[in-house]
Structure 1
Amino acid sequence: MVVTIAPLDLRARAADAAAVQSVALGPVSPDRVAVYARHTVHPGFRAFGAFDTSDGEDKLVGFAYGAACRSGQWWFDQISPSLRAAGYGPWIADAYAVTELHVRPEYHGQGLGLTLLTTLLSGVGNPTALLSTYDGETRARRLYRGLGFVDLITGFRFGTSSQGYALMAAPLPLAVRQADPARSA
């Protein structure tokens, strides 16, 4: 198997990205492709894909994207009041949001999540990175902690879901290490 990490044209590969997210997390809403398209115009938008090229094609098997956090963006507007109320205003000032990071389960344990995340955040000029993830002891959460992300708020509920989330932040640049603790889980 040959997997490469490269810039991702999220508009052109939106259906492929939605398929990866669906396999990784469960069914996604039918408007997911339109949501991706809206995100591509946010300031500082970057996207990277993990492509399996072993059969001569470039099958998308993982992806990560993000952008600068700004007022008026749904995710930022959902989290910022709670973070400010909890005293975490400095973490969100000029932060970069890791909007999505997903890898197909059959490709877990190969360091793709680590490589996608570090590639996405390398060279970003913002002082901090923010993300939300399921509030549980998951492979993803261990990966984030291993890179210096800390929990700011746990048990967070977005207005559209009853699922609990952890809001996490890390100073940039990330504290990159060689081993991926999520791989040994």
Structure 2
Amino acid sequence: MVNFIPLVPESPAFERVIDCYRDVWASAGEGEARTSVAERFSAHATYPGYRGVVALATDPDELAAAGVEGEDEAVLGYCYGYASRPDQYYHGLLRESLPVEEGDRWLADCFEFVELGVHVGARERGLGSTLHDALLDGVENATSLLTTGVENDPARRFYERRGWDVVHEPFESDDGRPYVVMGRSLGQDAGAAGSDRGRV
């Protein structure tokens, strides 16, 4: 059984989410200090409109399927985002990069979809889609934006299946890498769009 619980710093699962995040990126050949990840996740949890979701497995079969051994429970995935505000660093980067009209359209009332990750052993089972939809369900902002690597084809295809469109590319963040900005208009059916178009 997989339980979906809020991602908040005071949750016992929070530390496991940090480990899951680092494992996800390590599998992609990238790494980041644990302290840095924890500080960023904790800081973002204080932003207006923050919400996050954790997929926590407790069923032995689910744990075995994900390749988790010797644990009674494990984080199989996570996602979070928050309301985009002018005083936030990333909002400023997006505003500078987007053409004025696009910036006005997408950033005026925007939910930033910041992170979505699924344990490598739990992929291709629809967990990413479930996390994605759970995060957006009930978001009251008019739009949502995210960024992912220009060459990250699996992520781009996933988000396209969930109803996202390319808004701008390339977008260069402070790490100098090329990203693509993707956007989605939100409404009552925000969580349902694309629900039959693929599994992650």
Q: CA deviation at 1:19?
A: 1.5
Counterpart in 1 of 2:178? 164
Aligned-residue identity in percent? 26
Q: Is 100-109 or 139-148 further displaced after alignment?
A: 139-148
Which one of 116, 134, 152 corresponds to residue 167 of structure 2? 152
Q: CA deviation at 1:182?
A: 5.2
Counterpart in 2 of 1:178? 195
1:1-185 correspondence to structure 2 within 5 Å: 2-12=1-11, 13-26=13-26, 27-29=31-33, 30-55=35-60, 57-85=72-100, 87-159=102-174, 161-173=175-187, 174=190, 176-181=193-198, 183=200
Cα 1:64/1:10, change in 2 over 3 Å: farther
Q: Deviations over 1:112-163 (max 9, x none)?
A: 111111110111110111111111252221121112211111221111x132
SS of corresponding position for 2:81: strand
SS of corresponding position for 1:31: helix
SS of corresponding position for 2:196: coil
**Whole-Å separation in 2 of the counterparts to 1:148 and 1:88:** 19
Cα 1:18/1:180, change in 2 over 3 Å: farther
Give the structure-1-normalised TM-score: 0.88
- For structure 2, the 5+ residue unaligned runs are 61-70
**Whole-Å separation in 2 of the counterparts to 1:74 and 1:137:** 23
**Whole-Å separation in 2 of the counterparts to 1:179 and 1:135:** 25
- For structure 1, the 5+ residue unaligned runs are none
Q: CA RMSD in A?
A: 2.0
Give the structure-2-normalised TM-score: 0.82
**Whole-Å separation in 1 of the counterparts to 2:162 and 2:181:** 15
Flag the structure with larger Rg.
2
CA contact (8 A) 2:125 2:199 kept: no
